[in-house]
């Protein structure tokens, strides 16, 4: 059902239709400005079996040598799984953090399949009885488990058993903002990967939509999103991004209703004081226009002039009270959003999304639509530095992005593809010279072009 996305015709970059544009820094969640969320990821354990912060640790606090035998890694993972039921909250949090790092940087489907029920029970207890940091880490581990297990029966059962708990934490106003934020992200990612049928998809969409609908829109204040606390704005951003991710696999019959319901008020979030929420709103609006044009090529928006005015103001924003890096990133993204919305598919200028190339190993992933960008950003947020490993070897990600079967290269092929140190030096020198010439030609001719 939701996984019918895998049969969609490939876009420019091939494979699953998804979103793409601009720099991969856009993949950052609204939680990057949420101090509580960052604290949830920095928890360490007081258990002697888990404390190891030497410089040789390859998992950031996990005493596992990536080059060591697979058996050593699995023995450590067994310890972490056992520690999930410990009476000490600190020990449980340390075990969750260690599992998070291991799942992001290794492929462990066989190990996890044997312990799926044990992990499900442990995560259920962490989400039910844990507080704040523990709930946030448990939700993050759940999302990574779904990526590892894929859309098979085990992954579906795991997500379905824990989905009600994620929804409960998201809707609990007394819960930690960090816990609600990570539960929203896990709900979107888990549903995208492992939802069993269309009703699961629609219920998750409704839950996430309800989070930010209460802050603005029909019956709400137009300025509600701008006066919310920073922690709540981080939750709004995470819920909006997770909601947008699920829109990429939503059936067209439901997309039309969502467009009618959400497009009139979603631009209100562009006035938020949180830069990540503004960017998430802009990218989601671009995604909605992309989906609308897929349904109806000559789609027109009634209040186009007002919307373009708001986007243009953000694309040229020079307010000094905002951080310079935030202004630069905002202007770059909103120039792309404005160009895409103003220039429809029939316009001479195009109206296509800017393409981004992601190189990993000997392959290239083309991120060439707003939907493809949202999918890539969601996996990047979950996997971090382990994304390239999963793109190379995880069958789920290769199917989602249309990369084909996992490449198997023997030692001779790898040696033939590897450049010598001298060849790398010559290549870098030539690239530096060409870049210097290009910049010199335009140094005195710079202009802001929308």
Give me 76's structure tokens. Answer: 């450590």
pTM: 0.77
SS3 440: helix
Contact 142/162 with Cβ under 8 angstroms?
A: yes
C-alpha span between 87 and 33 (Å, rounded): 32
Per-residue pLDDT, 264: 87
Per-residue pLDDT, 139: 96
Per-residue pLDDT, 434: 82
C-alpha span between 428 and 424 (Å, rounded): 6
Candidates 26, 100, 74; CA nearest to 287 is 26
Please state, as a whole number, how many other Cβ atoms lie within 10 Å of the Cβ of residue 440.
9
Give me 120's structure tokens. Answer: 């499900």
Per-residue pLDDT, 41: 44
Per-residue pLDDT, 447: 47
Which region among 286-290, 300-304, 391-395, 410-414 has the lowest average model confidence (pLDDT)? Answer: 410-414
Q: Mean pLDDT, to the nearest integer, of 425-440?
A: 80
Give me 407's structure tokens. Answer: 């490449």
Per-residue pLDDT, 411: 57
> Which of the four pLDDT bands, split at 50, 70 and 90, describes residue 144?
very high
Chain-centroid distance, C-alpha 434: 35
Per-residue pLDDT, 215: 66
Q: Mean pLDDT, to the nearest integer, of 73-91?
A: 91
Please name each of the domains of the chain with its CATH number. 2-342 (1.25.10.10)
Residue 20 zone, left/alpha/beta (φ > 0; ψ -120 to 50; rest) = beta
On the question of pLDDT at 30 being above 80, the answer is no
End-to-end Cα separation, the chain, in angstroms: 40
Contact 389/102 with Cβ under 8 angstroms?
A: no
pLDDT tens digits, 32-41? 444 444 444 4
Residue 366, H or E segment: strand 363-367
On the question of pLDDT at 21 being above 80, the answer is no
Q: Mean pLDDT across the chain, nearest whole number?
A: 79
Comparing 56 with 126, the larger pLDDT belongs to 126
C-alpha pair distances (Å), 197 with each of 17, 113, 193, 323? 19, 22, 11, 44
pLDDT tens digits, 217-250? 544 444 444 445 666 888 999 999 999 999 999 9
pLDDT tens digits, 173-201? 889 999 999 999 999 999 999 987 899 99
On the question of pLDDT at 65 being above 90, the answer is no
> Which of the four pLDDT bands, split at 50, 70 and 90, describes residue 346?
low
C-alpha span between 78 and 145 (Å, rounded): 15
């Amino acid at each position: 059902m939701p996984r019918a996305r895998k049969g969609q015709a490939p876009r420019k970059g091939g494979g699953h239709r998804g979103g793409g544009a601009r720099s991969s820094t856009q993949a950052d969640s609204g939680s990057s400005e949420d101090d509580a969320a960052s604290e949830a990821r920095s928890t360490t354990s007081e258990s002697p079996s888990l404390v190891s912060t030497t410089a040789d640790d390859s998992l950031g606090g996990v005493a596992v040598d990536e080059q060591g035998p697979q058996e050593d890694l699995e023995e450590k993972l067994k310890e972490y799984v056992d520690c999930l039921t410990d009476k000490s909250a600190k020990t449980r949090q340390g075990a969750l953090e260690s599992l998070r790092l291991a799942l992001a940087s290794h492929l462990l489907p066989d190990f996890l399949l044997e312990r799926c029920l044990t992990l499900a029970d442990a995560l259920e207890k962490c989400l039910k009885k844990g507080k704040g940091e523990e709930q946030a880490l448990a939700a993050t581990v759940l999302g990574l488990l779904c990526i590892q297990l894929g859309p098979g029966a085990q992954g579906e059962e795991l997500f379905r058993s824990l989905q009600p708990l994620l929804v409960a934490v998201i809707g609990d106003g007394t819960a930690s903002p960090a816990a609600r934020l990570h539960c929203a992200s896990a709900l979107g990612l888990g549903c995208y990967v492992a939802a069993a049928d269309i009703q699961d998809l629609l219920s998750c969409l409704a839950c996430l939509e309800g989070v930010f609908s209460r802050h603005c829109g029909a019956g709400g204040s137009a300025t509600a999103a701008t006066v919310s606390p920073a922690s709540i704005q981080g939750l709004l951003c995470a819920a909006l991004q997770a909601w947008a991710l699920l829109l990429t696999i939503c059936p067209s019959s439901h997309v039309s209703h969502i467009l009618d319901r959400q497009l009139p008020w979603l631009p209100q979030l562009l006035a938020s004081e949180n830069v990540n929420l503004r960017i998430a709103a802009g990218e989601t609006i671009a995604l909605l226009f992309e989906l609308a044009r897929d349904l109806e090529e000559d789609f027109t928006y009634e209040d186009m002039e007002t919307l373009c005015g708001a986007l243009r103001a953000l694309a040229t924003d020079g307010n000094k009270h905002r951080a310079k890096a935030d202004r630069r990133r905002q202007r770059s993204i909103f120039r792309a959003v404005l160009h895409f919305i103003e220039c429809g598919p029939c316009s001479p200028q195009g109206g296509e999304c800017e393409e981004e190339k992601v190189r990993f190993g000997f392959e290239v992933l083309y991120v060439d639509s707003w939907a493809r960008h949202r999918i890539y950003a969601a996996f990047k947020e979950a996997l971090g530095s382990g994304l390239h490993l999963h793109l190379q070897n995880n069958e789920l990600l290769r199917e989602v992005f249309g990369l084909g079967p996992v490449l198997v290269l023997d030692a001779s092929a790898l040696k033939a593809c590897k450049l010598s140190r001298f060849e790398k030096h010559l290549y870098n020198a030539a690239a530096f010279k060409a870049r210097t010439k290009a910049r010199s030609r335009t140094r005195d001719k710079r202009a802001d072009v929308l």
